[in-house]
């Protein structure tokens, strides 16, 4: 494998000084748990000081390290601040790939899955690069940039935020040619004095780094379209919209099936029908967002459609599991990675449209960072649950208590203080033929319930356990 960075290049990019012998790295890592042989290990200072792990990184095969203080016997580049050095390395990676076209993705819902779907489309069109997992903050964005090979033709970056000003600092690092806002909703509102309005302004910061004449791709069905459009126009952006009211990409129909769904749309005034491997209701709109964003980087619509046909749900974000039981199987839809009022409604609508032999069951844990309106937002979920005609709802957490009390008695599967307490109650009550969606904020540990369901063993009726 050819070198991604030589020590001389790292010194030039960061203004650091070489310690020990010269080296060449094939990757960049900040975590010894995922470090690959040949990586440059960046010793960041956080909850744990990365310098404590330099020795372990070298034992695991790191080519060298980026450090802020000398470590004896280690080939390294010494810089006063390793985070700033990582950021500088990222900017150098961007600038040494001058022909690379870049996209940035943000939004209250669907950032990671949409980013990865765009990445799949870019990869079909040539050398491409993308964020991994949810590497979307002040560390993840420069790390993703620093990992970008110089021969990259197209790249997509996820950019997230919890507070105002965070995206404004990250978008200029990427300097995207296209910026996508999936949607805006009541997420992280506890960190904004003006609530969802503040969230919308924070998402609009994505346009601050947009290249002159770049493209803004916006959700026409979102109530913050006007605010986002004005912010994008102020930066000279070319505005493209998607959704049921979209201008360049208008959703006509979304038809779930056993393989995912069939999308019917009008793309630049022409009718199109294409299959996707996702069945969640919001993927009708998101598939169009993927196509427009990839197209903005020079990927033909047909290539984007090919990618969507095989892009399966990510772990914890809609991935499905067929769990064998004694006399049939259980369908688990694992949405345990994150949740907010928008994505909850989509999950309920998706489950409600699903043909099932048994019951439609939702297992829900607290949605976090909603501020003082949190209890009311949880209780309000009773309405879309009823509209989707779900049969049974299990809940866990102090905020979900409000939903439990808002449900009619026949829909109450049970409430528990925590996901750990709820998990055995759920596994004891599910039956063959049931379809179960598990969803909640990552911090409320909905994954514990999903893990318990995946671990179920077939038990013959009447058997002693």
Q: Pick the closest to residue 361 from 317, 441, 281, 426 (CA basis).
A: 426
d(CA 203, CA 104): 11
φ/ψ of residue 18, rounded to 5: -70, 135
Global confidence as pTM: 0.88
Q: What is the pLDDT of residue 52?
A: 94
β-pairing verdict for 215-219 and 392-396: unpaired
Residue with tokens 């601050």: 208
With 0-12 CB in 10 A as exposed, 13-18 as middle and 19+ as buried, what is 165? Answer: exposed
β-pairing verdict for 154-158 and 101-106: parallel
With b for 16 or more beta-carbon neighbours within 10 A and e for fewer, the 204-225 pattern comes to bbbbbbbbeebbbbbbbebebb
| Domains of the chain: residue spans and CATH | 5-80 (3.40.1390.10), 97-310 (3.40.1190.10), 319-454 (3.90.190.20)
Residues 6+ positions from 216 with CB-CB distance below 8 Å: 178, 179, 181, 207, 210, 228, 229, 232, 235, 237, 238, 239, 240
Residues 6+ positions from 71 with CB-CB distance below 8 Å: 19, 51, 54, 55, 65
CA within 13 Å, CB half, 250: 10
Consecutive 10-residue averages of pLDDT for the chain (465 residues)? 94 97 97 96 92 96 96 95 97 97 95 96 98 90 97 97 94 98 88 90 97 97 97 97 98 93 97 96 96 98 98 90 90 92 93 93 95 94 97 97 97 97 96 96 94 80 38
Alpha carbon 377 to chain centroid, angstroms = 22
Q: What is the pLDDT of residue 166?
A: 96
With 0-12 CB in 10 A as exposed, 13-18 as middle and 19+ as buried, what is 386? Answer: middle
Quick check: 37 and 61 in contact, CB under 8 A? Answer: yes
Q: What is the pLDDT of residue 46?
A: 83
β-pairing verdict for 39-42 and 64-67: parallel
Q: What is the pLDDT of residue 458?
A: 66
Alpha carbon 106 to chain centroid, angstroms = 9
Q: What is the pLDDT of residue 187?
A: 81
Tokens read off for 38 = 């040949």
Residue with tokens 């950019």: 159
With 0-12 CB in 10 A as exposed, 13-18 as middle and 19+ as buried, what is 175? Answer: middle
Give long-range contacts, CB 8 A cutoff, 24+ apart: 34-41.
35/60, 35/61, 35/62, 36/61, 37/61, 37/62, 38/1, 38/62, 38/63, 39/63, 40/4, 40/5, 40/10, 40/64, 40/65, 40/66, 41/65, 41/66
Q: Pick the closest to residue 134 from 154, 170, 169, 160 (CA basis).
A: 160
């Amino acid at each position: 494998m050819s070198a991604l960075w030589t020590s001389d290049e790292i010194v030039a990019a960061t203004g650091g000084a070489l310690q020990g012998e010269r080296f060449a790295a094939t990757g960049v890592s900040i975590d010894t748990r995922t470090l690959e042989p040949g990586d440059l290990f960046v010793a960041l200072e956080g909850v744990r000081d990365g310098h404590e792990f330099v020795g372990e990184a070298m034992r695991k095969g790191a080519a060298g390290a980026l450090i802020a203080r000398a470590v004896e016997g280690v080939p390294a580049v010494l810089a006063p601040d390793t985070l700033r050095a990582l950021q500088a390395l990222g900017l150098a990676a961007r600038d040494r790939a001058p022909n690379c076209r870049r996209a940035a993705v943000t939004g209250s819902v669907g950032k990671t899955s949409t980013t990865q779907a765009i990445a799949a489309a870019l990869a079909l069109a040539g050398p491409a690069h993308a964020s991994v997992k949810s590497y979307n903050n002040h560390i993840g964005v420069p790390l993703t940039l620093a990992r970008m090979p110089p021969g990259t033709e197209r790249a997509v970056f996820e950019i997230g935020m919890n507070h105002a000003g965070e995206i404004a600092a990250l978008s200029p690092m990427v300097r995207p040619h296209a910026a996508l806002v999936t949607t805006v909703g009541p997420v992280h509102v506890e960190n904004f004095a003006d609530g969802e309005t503040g969230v919308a302004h924070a998402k609009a910061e994505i346009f601050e780094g947009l290249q002159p004449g770049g493209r803004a791709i916006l959700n026409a069905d979102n109530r913050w379209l006007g605010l986002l459009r004005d912010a994008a126009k102020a930066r000279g952006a070319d505005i493209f919209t998607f959704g049921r009211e979209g201008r360049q990409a208008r959703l006509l129909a979304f038809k779930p099936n056993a393989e995912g769904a069939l999308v019917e749309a009008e793309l630049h005034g022409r009718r199109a029908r294409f299959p996707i491997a996702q069945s969640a209701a919001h993927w009708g709109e998101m598939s169009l967002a993927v196509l427009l964003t990839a197209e903005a980087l020079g990927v033909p619509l047909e290539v984007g459609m090919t990618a969507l046909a095989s892009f399966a749900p990510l772990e914890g974000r809609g991935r499905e599991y067929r769990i064998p039981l004694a006399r049939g199987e259980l369908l688990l839809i694992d949405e345990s990675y994150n949740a907010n009022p928008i994505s909850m409604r989509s999950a309920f609508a998706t489950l409600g449209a699903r043909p099932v032999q048994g019951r439609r069951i939702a297992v829900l844990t607290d949605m976090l960072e909603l501020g003082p309106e949190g209890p009311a937002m949880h209780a309000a979920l009773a309405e879309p649950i009823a509209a989707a005609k779900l049969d049974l709802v299990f809940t866990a957490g102090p905020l979900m208590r409000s939903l439990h009390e808002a449900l009619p008695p026949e829909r109450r599967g049970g409430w528990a203080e925590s996901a750990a307490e709820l998990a055995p109650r759920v596994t004891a009550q599910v039956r063959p033929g049931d379809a179960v969606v598990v969803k909640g904020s990552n911090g409320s540990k909905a994954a514990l319930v999903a893990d318990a369901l995946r671990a179920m063993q077939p038990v013959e009726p009447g058997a002693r356990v």
